[in-house]
Amino acid sequence: MKFRFFTLLTLLLAFNAVAVELRPVPAPPIIGAKSYLMIDGKTGRELASLAPNLSLAPASLTKLMTAYVVFHSLRQAQIQLEDEVTVSEKAWRTPGSRMFIEVGKRVKVKDLLLGMIVQSGNDASVALAEHVAGSESVFAELMNQYAQRLNMHSSHFINATGLPDDDHYSTARDLATLARAIINEFPRYYEWYSIKEYTWGDIRQPNRNSLLWRDATVDGMKTGHTDDAGFCLVSSAKRDGMRVISVVMGMASVRARTDGSQALINYGFRFFETRLLYKAGEEITRTRIWKSSKEFTSLGVLDDLYITVPRGSYDALESVLSIPAILMAPVTAGQPLAEIKVSLNGEDLLQEQLRALDDNPSGSFWQRTIDSIELWFE
């Protein structure tokens, strides 16, 4: 990788320059969707898209948000997996795909989640919503609040199932954001999205995500279909440490959404790679801290920093580091002190703050005096 460092005094240094012949990246496949988006699961970088901000009916992709709200309720200990939920008549009568729970019977939260995730049960979704919030309408308010927290500003939810409503909509971009949040925030529960079949009441139903059988690297996530929405699929796969998330909406058939999603996934892995740029806590550079007990402070990132680039282009990256010309003590660990920008062939790919990796308190009276004199001459 090639680096260039400068302070706000425009000191410029360059080293480790590497000449790399960049491989061409072809256009994404044409899959016949009304809208699609594929992102890297770790960095969130967009890898391929078609009208990703188009507002569409999400159908049962809605159940990703239903699950996200329930997962938060579990994390906050508001409910438990072993809680027994009494099935209401409303849940029992909910039309569409079903888990086949019976009115008045008691079903554990975990079973309802599996019935919703694997079997896409609308009845299970409503039962969960009522258990968490008392009613499906109040639960929908929670769905919208969590959507805003995730910056899903182009989504609005009316119900927990995805049954059609003019005021119930989302976008491929928002759903990709949601899928990434589930994968990263709730890895324990995300494993359930790879379950191929589930049996309840002696009725065995397969997961509707055909990619689970076709591609061993696919481990989720959710299908959807209504006459209005067409055939939809959020899928995710992991190969050699890299994860991609694909959202396709408005496809013509089950086969089309499966084939289209597979084409996008293969494209993502073939032409892109995700690499660790800097480890958490490693020193990227050092900077002078004036009037401090230690002359220099190490700078780095607090979490592992990854970057997604076209495959084979990592060594052609350029990094520019901006550090203020004068930084004064005291400095506390984690304090942002500088900024790094990473680009490829003139395109900015990443911008991240660099933080102090340790405390650097004010120096003694003598140290502060000497530095004051030096700063005067500076």
Residues annotated as catalytic (active site), given as ranges:
60, 63, 120
229 dihedral zone (left: phi>0; alpha: psi -120 to 50; beta): alpha
Dihedral angle, C-alpha 354, 243, 122, 189, nearest 10 ° = -70
Distance CA(348)–CA(363), nearest Å, equals 39
Contact 274, 308 (CB under 8 A): yes
Query: DSSP character for 148?
Result: H
Query: How far does the chain reach from its first CA to its final CA, in angstroms?
Result: 33
∠ CA 192-197-202, rounded to 5°: 120
The dihedral built from the CA positions of residue 119, 124, 126 and 130, taken in this order, carries a sign that is negative
Distance CA(176)–CA(113), nearest Å, equals 21
What six digits make up the tokens of 199? 């049996």
* Neighbour-count burial for 261-279, b at 16+ CB within 10 Å, e otherwise: bbbbbebbbebbbbeebbe
214, containing H or E segment: helix 211-214
